[in-house]
Amino acid sequence: MNDNPNAPRLSVLMTVFNGMPHLPAAIDSVFAQTFQDFEFVVVNDGSTDGTADYLASLDDPRVVVIERENGGTAAAANQGLKSCRGEYLARVDADDISLPTRFEKQVAFLDSHPSVGLVGTQMAALGEQGVGKSLRLPTSHQAIDQALIEGRHALGHANIMLRTALLKQLGGYWSLRMQDAWDMMLRMGEAAELANLDEVLHHYRVHSGSLNGKGMRRMRRSIDYACELAHRRRSGRPALSYVQYEAEQDSRPLVSRGLEGINLHARCQYRHALAEIHGGRPLRGYPRIAWAALCSPRLTAERLVRVFLPSGKAHPPAENSSAGNVNPA
């Protein structure tokens, strides 16, 4: 329970950098929630487009806008976290859509499951042609935690709701590498149970952006580093610096590093394929999927099964996420 009687039940936290033109739709989806007892903390991380002007135009007393120089999502989230007063904290992305009952159902779940520290939802891709297939994620703590520590996608950071005090107790997000959310979710899983609602309550926008092979490599390395730190914490071993970890990875045999490069290329192709397909350009997208399957048959097949498996069937283990905070599929 929140000791501050004047605080709302829920804090909604968004960090944004150059969020236009999708930012208004994302913010409208927050205001359209059936659960309305919230404050909305928006951290503008040094945007250079029309984001600041749009945020200044918002006329709602629940909105708290924090302006800062660009310093990355983790630092922005930690600054916003300091202003969050709610018992629970909901994360939202600046280009995604939260369906109207998302907050209501997550608050009710946390109220009735005191052992759970963080709960997410199922999600569906959103492209230029509308909403696509849903991404099926595990719902039990054991399955979620096991997937995360193996570097496999099991939570959508843009749709999680967690206990604010617990996140503050754990020190918030790390701000050393990309994939700060992966480390946070692993640490949350060590302090409390994790869960996902078995209902699509979030639409994540699919876009290829500027992610290339080098960017994908950095993402995978930081995810793997977060997993390595978790293994060390849980086995009582000392932490390893990122410099040490990267040196170990770069000293692996040439064959291992070559296979890593092929898998990274397959992930990049799959990600770009989704953007093309959901953007109404299937003739560009499907050849990319074929090329990804040729490069890495197992990883691509597992991704396709995860997206196209009927909802009524058991969810298979989720394949390694290649996009982390950006696009989970």
Sequence spans of domains, the chain: 10-205, 213-308
pTM of the model: 0.81
291-326 in b/e form (b: 16+ CB < 10 A) is: bbbebbeebbebbbbbeeeeeeeebeebbbbbbbbb
Residue 295 has pLDDT above 90, yes or no: no
Choose the weakest-confidence range: 107-111, 123-127, 227-231: 123-127
C-alpha to C-alpha distance for 298 and 130, rounded to whole angstroms: 29
Does position 177 have pLDDT exceeding 50, yes or no? yes
Q: What is the pLDDT of residue 328?
A: 40
Q: Give the containing element (helix H, strand E) for 224.
A: helix 213-235
SS3 120: strand
For 108, phi then psi, to 5°, come to -60, -40
Between 267 and 231, residue with greater pLDDT: 231
The pLDDT assigned to 254 comes to 77
The more confidently predicted of residues 258 and 145 is 145
Question: 260 or 197: whose pLDDT is higher?
Answer: 197
Quick one: CATH architecture of 10-205? Alpha-Beta Complex (3.90)
Q: What is the mean pLDDT of the chain?
A: 84
pLDDT for 282: 66
DSSP 152: B
Helix runs in 113-179, H state only? 141-149, 164-169
Q: For the beta carbon of residue 48, count every other beta carbon within 10 angstroms.
A: 9
Q: Which residues, other chains included, contact 222 with Cβ-Cβ below 8 Å and sequence gap of 6+?
A: 177, 178, 179, 182, 242, 324
The closest alpha carbon to 11, from 42, 41, 31, belongs to 41
pLDDT of 313 strictly over 60: no
Residue 182: left (phi > 0), alpha (psi -120 to 50), or beta? alpha
Residue with structure tokens 């496999």? 152
Percent of the chain exceeding pLDDT 70 equals 73
pLDDT value of position 26: 98
pLDDT for 102 beyond 80: yes
At 277, the pLDDT band (50, 70, 90 cuts) reads low
Confidence of residue 174 (pLDDT cuts 50, 70, 90): confident
Q: Which of 255, 238, 257, 232 is nearest to 247 (CA)?
A: 257
